[in-house]
Every structure is written in C-alpha cells, then in structure tokens.
Structure 1
Amino acid sequence: MTAKSENRPRFHLAFPVTDLEAARRFYTDILGCKNGRESDRWIDFDFFGHQLVAHLVEPEDHPSVTTNAVDGHAVPASHFGVILEWDQYQQFVVNLEQKGVEFVIEPYLRFEGRQGEQATLFVRDPSNNYLEFKAFRDIEMLFDKDLESY
C-alpha cells in the first residue's frame, strides 16, 4: 500500500529476510506494497509511503524473537508496522482475511470504549519478522501519557 506523497518525514527500515522471493510475494501480494530498487541481495518496498529494505541473510543469521506479555498476548518484542486510519484498518483486516493470512495475534480492540481505544493485529512474514498494524479511534491519543499502562 502506498501513501500519497506528503511533505513529512519518512522512515527507512532495513530488516533481514531468509528468502527474497517469498518476501517479495508477501510484501507485494499480501500487504500491497510496491517494490522499488533491488539487487540479488535486497529489495526496496514502499510500505505505506515509507522505505523498507529486505536484506537477504542466511537462516542461521536471522535473529530470534523474544516476547512480552501484553493484554494476555505474547507480543513479539521485535516488530514493526504502521498506524492506519480507523476505516483503512478495518478494510485492511478484511483484505488479510480474504487472502487467508494467518494472524499471530488476531485483530482485537484494546481499551474498548475507553480513552485510547485502539484496534491491533500481528502477522508474520515468511522470514518470521513480525508486523503490527493498528488504528486509534482518536489519533490524538497516540502519545497520550494518561492512558492505562500496557
């Protein structure tokens, strides 16, 4: 999925993958990213207007994942993702379900009906990198310090 060009900072994230073609299929076919420059060792992806670069590593060199308990879920400590608009998130969930994507953490609401209400889900790419997609009912709560602790 591509974000419209806006005058705002973009993030760049390089991450390890163990199979470039499987990464290409996941990020383009499943998540809807466009790919940009590439070589036989890496691929650029337009990840909601941000630059992801999948770098090929040997399976034994891919980092392991530790989890933390959050709301009764084992949340991968190492993960990345984006915060979508509420309606965009809802459609994104439908698209993932239609494509048969297996959720690591099924879509659910945190702080339902309360300040800071947010929808969240986790998926895993073919190289076991974890991604979180979320949406806030009120985006102004994104950095609010008065929210209940995680």
Structure 2
Amino acid sequence: MIDLAAYAGLFASAFIAATIFPMQSEAILIGLILSDRYSLAGLLLTASVGNTLGAVVNWLLGRGIERFRNRSWFPATEDKLEKAQSWYRKYGKWSLLLSWLPIGGDAITVVAGVLREPLPTFLMLVFIGKALRYGVVAAAAISAAG
C-alpha cells in the first residue's frame, strides 16, 4: 500500500522550498529514502515535480514583477535581480538548469518570468536541473548509508 501522506509531505516541502519561504526538502527526501519503505523513483519524481511547480510561483512573480517588486516578501532584492538578469542575458534559458542553486537559483526563476521565458521551456529546463540535484542527493544518501 502506498503511503500517500509521505509523498504529499515530500511534495509540499519541495514545492515550498522552491518559493520565497525558507525550507529544505532534501532532509525529508533523505529520511524517506533511508526508511527503505518507498519507491526511489517515486520519491525522486515527487520531489522534482513539487520543486519545479514551486519554481513556477517565482516565474509568475517575475511576470508580474512591477506590481510586486517592492514588497518585503518578494524573493529577490534589486541587486539579486540585476545579477540574475545579467546572468540570464549572458547564458539565456540554459541558466535555468542551475535553478536548483541555493544562492541565486530563485532569482534565476524570477528573472525567467521577467524576461518572458515561455513556460514550456521553463518547465523542461527547471525540471531537468532539479531532478539532477535530487538524484545527486539521493545517490549521496544511499552511498553514505552503505
């Protein structure tokens, strides 16, 4: 029987971690992997989809940046936005593969919205980057557990 609560919790933590709220989903993923009660593929897919959809929130904020830019809860400062825009203009859509980075990753996803990156391209590249990151985290956890 599938424990939907565990998958839902992982999805929620991964989703929130990709938005403006500080949260780490990796610890939850590692705990579920080490419990050896869940499908590794299912956990990786759940975390990757949740984190990607959370990044869509940032993309949407970027699309409406002029309305939200000066709000205290906005996920990126002016400096971070300028840096991310410069990075994005230099490397283009391929910079979305680095959206998983703990510093600057959220800003890249916001800037993708500001610069009107098409949503299908955004989803594909962000998902690839985030899935690779969760794959590395899972491999490290499994390796460390022996």
TM-score by length of 1: 0.26
Q: Which has the higher helix share?
A: 2
Q: Which has the higher strand share?
A: 1
TM-score by length of 2: 0.27
Q: Which has the higher contact order (CA 8 A, sep 6+)?
A: 2
